[in-house]
Chain A
Amino acid sequence: EPEVTQTPSHQVTQMGQEVILRCVPISNHLYFYWYRQILGQKVEFLVSFYNNEISEKSEIFDDQFSVERPDGSNFTLKIRSTKLEDSAMYFCASSTWTGGVDGYTFGSGTRLTVV
């Protein structure tokens, strides 16, 4: 079964450092997303990406965040200067969005710890 792959599974970084979280979406999917889940809280939408541009973003997704699809397979989330409160599980997802929501698939996540 096709899956969304995320690397690394766990990233520890110093406060103020830049991090790049990587994702390989399902190959025929056209829409890509990042979500995060702070420990004990709900999963929150960060950004959606379609046709090489951001289609929607939340208020969480400020200037510290950026996304990129550098080649035909990877989709990355960059946090420029990490803060302690950025510590969370970050989930990448992709979908076909043919009207069938069943295709909305999540990766296993990257646990980001900012120290």
Chain B
Amino acid sequence: DQQVKQNSPSLSVQEGRISILNCDYTNSMFDYFLWYKKYPAEGPTFLISISSIKDKNEDGRFTVFLNKSAKHLSLHIVPSQPGDSAVYFCAAIPTQGGSEKLVFGKGTKLTVNP
């Protein structure tokens, strides 16, 4: 049951370039989408979110785009920095029943090379 999919297990980019991390979902009943960043031996750290009624949210170097018709969202990091190297998780919160659980993708490991 893979409701949230991150099909790229890894991504490598040069410092200063754009990183684009992708996420697809199968359930139309998601209310919010979130991106988390995770370093080894640490818990997921919230990065940025987007409501299902929006198509873009920007916070500094991070922008999340949502394409509801394609059931696709992406996280853009520009410019990428070596400190951005981490595993990035896409997550979603279902609308039904007032659920607050997060449904995670498998993650994409981003490596930003100096």
- Provided the pairs A4-B43, A107-B43 are in contact, do residues A97 and B104 lie with their beta carbons within 8 angstroms? no
A101 touches B93 (CB 8 A): yes
What number of A-B contacts does a CB cutoff of 8 Å give? 58
Per the CB 8 Å criterion, the residue count for chain B at the interface is 23
* Chain B CB within 8 A of A74 CB: no
* Chain B CB within 8 A of A44 CB: yes
- Provided the pairs A48-B100, A104-B102 are in contact, do residues A42 and B43 lie with their beta carbons within 8 angstroms? no
A105 touches B46 (CB 8 A): yes
* Chain A CB within 8 A of B65 CB: no
Instruction: Report Cα–Cα, A47/B100, bound state, in Å.
Output: 10
- Provided the pairs A91-B44, A108-B43 are in contact, do residues A48 and B101 lie with their beta carbons within 8 angstroms? yes
B46 touches A42 (CB 8 A): no
B106 touches A41 (CB 8 A): yes
B101 contact set on A, CB distance < 8 A? 33, 45, 48, 56, 58
A4 contact set on B, CB distance < 8 A? 43
* Chain A CB within 8 A of B62 CB: no
A109 contact set on B, CB distance < 8 A? 41-43
Task: Give residues in B with beta carbon < 8 Å to A.
Answer: 32, 34, 36, 41-46, 49, 89, 91, 93, 97, 99-107
23 A-B pairs with CB atoms under 8 Å apart are A6-B43, A31-B100, A41-B106, A42-B89, A42-B106, A43-B102, A45-B101, A45-B102, A45-B103, A48-B100, A56-B97, A56-B99, A56-B101, A58-B101, A91-B43, A91-B44, A93-B43, A97-B100, A101-B32, A102-B46, A106-B36, A108-B41, A109-B41
